[in-house]
Amino acid sequence: MNILFLYPNMNIGGAQKVVLDLVNEISNKTTSKVYLGTTKGKLLDRVNENVIVIDLPLNQKEKMVTSIKKIV
């Protein structure tokens, strides 16, 4: 099974910390592939090496189609 998390950015914040904790915990406790679709941010360096990070400009409407194609 593949698990995909989408979040607009990984800058420092409460929701970003929750996403970070979720992807790291799940990737440590499952054999499934864990993906994180997001843009750059200060918390990306804390993402577990088991998590596959996909650079998706989710906060830019004009690039949303390209992002959807990357996900598919």
Cα separation, 4 vs 53, in Å, equals 10
Please give the share of the chain, as a percent, with pLDDT higher than 70.
Answer: 100
Dihedral of the CA atoms 5, 25, 16, 41 (nearest 10)? -80
Q: According to the model, what pLDDT value does residue 47 have? A: 96
Mean pLDDT of 14-42: 93
Query: What band does 56 get if pLDDT is binned at 50, 70 and 90?
Result: confident
Tell me the torsion sign for CA atoms 28, 30, 31, 33: negative
Question: What's the whole-model pTM score?
Answer: 0.83
